[in-house]
């Protein structure tokens, strides 16, 4: 018989005269078992949290982002776009136009990150699974809509119950003199209708809003410029 097994059997199955050693052995086994089980449970919980965080970020952003090395935007033609789509492992490619802008609702205003996405991106977006109110609709016929993060909607005291409610979106006008911020021509203003509120993660909820990409291009005066 293996020497280790012999020792284990000797102490686990000890006679009555060795009851104290037997009890100590079982207590040691129980302690090791509880410690090991606790360690496994903690690792499993942290692994679950990690997967949850990754799934939240995947809902908001794509797996891979292409950004310019200099500046905020880049120009990409259809040939380059098609070349990226034809790459192995690429399911879809969507341009994005994104920048900070001032949002105003009555006397409430705040800076938010305006993210312009395409109709195809809107249709396949998982963000609709994280809506708290309204619908994830950005464009319907000739009307533009905005979906706001929960924190942004709260900061603007915005309600979807008012069908006539519109938000003013302001962005510095490059052609105007910005030394006088009271000048109405210093900012470009576009109005948009709120359609929904999402709640995903605090960093996103307090910062981002979604709009149609053409609305963002007009606001930021970027036309064909974007990032992927």
The DSSP annotation for 88-126 comes to TT------BEEEEEEEEETTEEEEEEEEEE-HHHHHH-G
The string of pLDDT tens digits covering residues 71-95 is: 777 777 778 778 888 888 888 888 8
What is the model's pTM? 0.70
pLDDT for 8: 67
Which pLDDT belongs to residue 49? 57
What is the pLDDT at residue 113? 95
| Helix (H), strand (E) at residue 80 | helix 78-85
Task: State residue 20 phi and psi, 5-degree precision.
Answer: -60, -45
Burial 164-183 (b: 16+ CB within 10 A, else e): eeebbbbbebeeeeeeeeee
Q: What is the pLDDT of residue 160?
A: 87
The pLDDT assigned to 210 comes to 95
Residues lower than pLDDT 50 in the chain: none
Q: Would you state the pLDDT for residue 71?
A: 76
Structure-token pair, residue 122: 């809107």
């Amino acid at each position: 018989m293996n020497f280790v097994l012999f020792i284990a059997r000797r102490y686990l199955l000890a006679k009555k005269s060795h009851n104290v050693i037997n009890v100590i052995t079982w207590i040691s086994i129980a302690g090791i078992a509880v410690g090991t089980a606790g360690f496994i449970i903690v690792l499993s919980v942290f692994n679950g949290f990690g997967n949850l965080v990754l799934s939240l970020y995947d809902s908001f952003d794509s797996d891979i982002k292409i950004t310019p090395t200099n500046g905020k935007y880049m120009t990409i033609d259809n040939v380059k776009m098609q070349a990226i789509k034809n790459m192995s492992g690429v399911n879809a490619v969507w341009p994005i136009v994104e920048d900070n802008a001032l949002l105003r609702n009555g006397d409430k205003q705040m800076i938010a990150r305006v993210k312009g996405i395409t109709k195809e991106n809107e249709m396949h977006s998982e963000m609709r699974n994280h809506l708290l109110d309204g619908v994830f609709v950005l464009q319907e016929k000739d009307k533009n809509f905005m979906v706001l993060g929960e924190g942004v909607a709260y900061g603007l005291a915005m309600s979807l119950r008012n069908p006539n409610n519109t938000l003013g979106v302001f962005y510095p006008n490059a052609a105007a003199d910005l030394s006088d911020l009271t000048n109405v021509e210093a900012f470009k203003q576009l109005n948009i209708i709120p359609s929904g509120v999402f709640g995903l993660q605090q960093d996103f909820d307090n910062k981002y809003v979604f709009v149609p990409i053409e609305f963002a291009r007009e606001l930021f005066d970027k036309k064909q410029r974007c990032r992927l």
